[in-house]
Amino acid sequence: MKKKVRKAVFPVGGLGTRFLPATKAMPKEMLTLVDKPLIQYAIEEAAAAGIEEFILVTSRAKSSMEDHFDYPYELAKTLEERGKTAELALLEKMLPAAGRVVYTRQQKPLGLGHAVWCARDLVGDEPFAVLLPDDVILGDKPCLSQMVEAHEATQGNIVAVMEVPREHTKRYGVLDIAEDNGKLVSVKGLVEKPDPKDAPSTLTIIGRYILLPEIWSHLDRHEKGAGGEIQLTDAMAKMIGGKPFHGLRFEGTRYDCGDKLGWLEANIAFALARPDLADSMRDILRRFSSR
């Protein structure tokens, strides 16, 4: 029987070391992209794709995310008293329904595979999505919606993929391609962070996945991989040969917001995509380019 993708896991326990000192006391997922935190973009993308339950795998010093998805009672009252109805409506619109966001802690930083495994009982025996909020994708159709469609067509595992320069393979999970149909790529292997000379291709995974529950038995083993961490890529590689496994060349542009320059570029791109900000942003860019 076909099961709908209803749940999404957001591994948000990472230390954000690439973005210090901003992330010393603040989760990197709370970094602002124009006027919303990164985690808000990820939640909205998931909601647009039909996700009903949002599972955040957090760690210490991440409680501002719980506050962000709570009803801001005092603030709401003050906004109401001051007649700031537009701001109040915006806050209320952004709020997921009560009981739809759940939190669990990854107690030790043992890797992405371990973070996802921490959500095993909350997800259970059904296909689910994983979104890494520091990968932000700008495009007409949300990336996860494109992936849900691909999953409905294949009934298998789907990872979002993009080409990178060969010298960058060491930063990503890389596909060993069985068959490339342009948009959908069937996968015969996956390697986490290979040296450029060993990479089976330059088609790499970015932070969006739809996974079948078969992943749990592989993550249960807690096998360490690249960097001594429990890697999601390694557990996914073990699933290949069973149910279908595809990479989806998604439509849109991905920004690495866990990286300073990637985040700066994303702020410009997202401001230019906003009707209320685009003209002013263009003026600013013109001023800088004539310096």
Residues that bind ligand G1P (CB under 6 A): 112, 132, 135, 172-173, 192, 204-207, 231-233
Point out the residue whose Cβ comes nearest to ligand G1P: 173
- Closest distance between ligand G1P and the C-beta of residue 231, in Å? 6
- Closest distance between ligand G1P and the C-beta of residue 204, in Å? 5
- Closest distance between ligand G1P and the C-beta of residue 127, in Å? 19
Nearer to ligand G1P, 156 or 207 (CB): 207
Phi, psi of 130, rounded to the nearest 5 degrees: -125, 130
- Closest distance between ligand G1P and the C-beta of residue 168, in Å? 10
Query: Residues 6 or more apart from 42 whose CB is under 8 A from it?
Result: 10, 29, 131, 132, 133, 136
- Closest distance between ligand G1P and the C-beta of residue 234, in Å? 9
Asked if residue 142 has a cis previous peptide bond (ω within 30° of 0), the answer is no
Nearer to ligand G1P, 79 or 206 (CB): 206
Burial of 26 (0-12, 13-18, 19+ CB in 10 A): middle
Cα(180)–Cα(32) distance, integer angstroms = 37
Nearer to ligand G1P, 79 or 114 (CB): 114
Query: Residues 6 or more apart from 52 whose CB is under 8 A from it?
Result: 6, 7, 100
Which tokens sit at 31?
């970094």
- Closest distance between ligand G1P and the C-beta of residue 215, in Å? 14
Counting Cα atoms < 13 Å in the Cβ hemisphere of 150 gives 30
> Residues 64, 26: contact at Cβ < 8 Å?
yes
Nearer to ligand G1P, 72 or 200 (CB): 200
Which tokens sit at 11?
């591994």
Query: Residues 6 or more apart from 110 whose CB is under 8 A from it?
Result: 222, 229, 230
Nearer to ligand G1P, 232 or 281 (CB): 232
- Closest distance between ligand G1P and the C-beta of residue 14, in Å? 7
Nearer to ligand G1P, 172 or 250 (CB): 172
Strands 128-131 and 173-180: unpaired
Nearer to ligand G1P, 8 or 232 (CB): 232
Query: Residues 6 or more apart from 94 whose CB is under 8 A from it?
Result: 36, 40, 44
